[in-house]
Amino acid sequence: MPEPRIIAPATGKLGVLTPGLGAVASTFIAGVLKARAEGKAPLGSVSQMAHIRLGERHEGRNPLIRDFAPLAQLDDLVFGGWDPISANALEAATTCGVLDERDLASISSEMEGIVAMDAVFDQKWVSRLDGQRVKQLSSKWDQALALMEDIERFRVENECDRLVMVWCGSTEAYQQASAVHETVAAFEQGLKDNDDNISPSQIYVYAALQSGVPFANGAPNLSTDLPCMIELSKTLGVPIAGKDFKTGQTLMKTMIAPGLKARMLGLRGWYSTNILGNRDGEVLDAPENFKTKEESKLGVLHTILQPDVYPDLYGNVDHVVRINYYPPRGDNKEGWDAIDIFGWMGYPMQIKIDFLCRDSILAAPIVLDLALFMDLAHRAGESGVQEWLSFYLKAPQASGDADPEQDLFIQQTKMKNTLRQWMGEDPVTHSEAG
């Protein structure tokens, strides 16, 4: 058995800070408040609901993950966030309309008390939003310092032992990394020079890491996926993870594609289209913001199907992803997939999926799990990219040179084996012997 990690205990309160207090963040907070006030099961949360097998099957050891690993308790969580539009978590929840009024009634005063801090925001990066609750500071360096002050104030006022940050803000316009992102020194100079290539989300990451706060990125923005942030997270000993919550259509894709590949069924094309009517959909209606999302969604199939290894099966795949803003649907997205596959002797077949999902209902438990696992990683002495959390992410960052895994089931094994290893248990290989 491996030596268990020395993991600091989860004492005191854990503050969960979300840049972005919109549909996902408010749905996440509401669900946790309901779970602890009324014992509502935190459905969809692997950290809370899933069991983990230990040892060989016949041993029958199968505890809940939350009983196995020393995670923070739901009762110990406190919430905060920044938003240029939402005033507080209740207003955010009411505006986005994900949850019924009857579900919000009993927690409305608590939700109202979670007041959004003024955001570091620049409309240049999110053209469809016009935010008023914004820090009136033109220097990016001053903006970073102001965020660090917010973080410290929140920590003191809420008597937090530890903090984590999960980006639940809008998807920013597409960009590629540039010279200013190469090193921490270049980035800091860029903050002082107000470099155009530094987006708001990057300023939050910098402020979080400088404050010793782990950062998980739920959007496809580069933010944590930059050499300077990887360097900073390693130097300061603070974990990062990204990017883009894996929900909806991509979740389905990473369930189905591994199945087709497992049975050596070929793929000729995969056409995905979505209609979505929430604020996220409105932001993504701008081509420069959609491009960021498109890049994040397109990488998935290639990594799972390995066309270079299986050219006969996956060497000629047309993969198209569309998102259409359609207000009547609100947060209740509809995602269609038309999948053209082929089998024995090349005969074509088709699969159609019509997923009537609820975006924020799928994303909320991911925010909880990322917050709890990032806090665990920090207490376990981790820094740099936490690739073991790629299970939750659409475009996972790699911790080394190899491409990250995209197959949901390999990602699940990786996550559970990481937990087993940290707790001094053998990995489960599912071989005939065990």
- Site residues for ligand NAD, 123-142, by CB under 6 A, read 126, 129, 131
Report in angstroms how near the CB of residue 325 gets to ligand NAD at its nearest.
Answer: 12
Q: Given the rule CB under 6 A, which of 46-54, 76-84, 315-323, 395-403 is the region that contacts ligand NAD?
A: 76-84
168 lies in the binding site for ligand NAD (CB under 6 A): yes
CA distances from 289 to 124, 170, 229, 397 (A): 11, 9, 22, 20
Provide the minimum distance between the beta carbon of 263 and ligand NAD in the complex, in angstroms, as a whole number.
29
Of positions 200, 214, 266, 404, contacts ligand NAD by CB under 6 A: 200
Mapping DSSP to helix (H, G, I), strand (E, B) and coil, where does residue 410 land?
helix
- Do residues 229 and 248 touch, judged by C-beta distance below 8 A? no
Q: How far is the CB of 162 from ligand NAD (least distance, A)?
A: 22
Burial state string for 329-346 with b = 16 or more CB within 10 A and e = fewer than 16: bbbbbbbebebbbeeeee
DSSP class of 399: S
Residue 363 CB-density burial (10 A; 0-12 exposed, 13-18 middle, 19+ buried): buried
- Six token digits for residue 331: 């947060």
Using the contact rule CB under 6 A, the part of the chain among 71-79, 226-234, 277-285, 307-315 near ligand NAD is 277-285
Give the one residue of 225, 280, 382, 405 binding ligand NAD; rule: CB under 6 A. Answer: 280
Among 253, 279, 329, 420, binds ligand NAD (CB under 6 A): 279
Contacts of 431 (CB under 8 A, 6+ apart): none
278 binds ligand NAD (CB under 6 A): yes
Q: Are strands 215-217 and 239-242 parallel, antiparallel or unpaired?
A: parallel
Looking at beta carbons, which residue is closest to ligand NAD?
A: 22
- Three-state SS for 41-60 is CCCCCHHHHCECCECCHHHC
Does residue 86 bind ligand NAD (CB under 6 A)? Answer: yes
Answer yes or no whether residue 277 interacts with ligand NAD by CB under 6 A. no
Beta strands 160-167; 215-217: pairing state? parallel
Q: Which residue has the tokens 């883009």?
A: 244
C-alpha span between 338 and 325 (Å, rounded): 20
| HSE-up (13 A, CA, CB side) for residue 330 | 15
The residue among 228, 244, 138 whose CA lies nearest residue 187 is 228
Select 22 or 258, whichever has its Cβ closest to ligand NAD. 22
Strand pairing report for 348-356 and 384-385: unpaired
Q: Is 358 in the site for ligand NAD (CB under 6 A)?
A: no
By beta-carbon proximity to ligand NAD, the closer residue of 205 and 339 is 205
The smaller minimum CB distance to ligand NAD, of residues 112 and 161, is found at 112
Query: Contact with ligand NAD (CB under 6 A): which of 10, 120, 207, 226?
Result: 120
Site string for ligand NAD, 11-50 (x = CB under 6 A): --------xxxxxx--------------------------
Contact set with ligand NAD (CB under 6 A):
19-24, 82-86, 96, 119-121, 126, 129, 131, 168-171, 200, 218-219, 244-245, 247-248, 278-280, 283, 359-360, 362-363
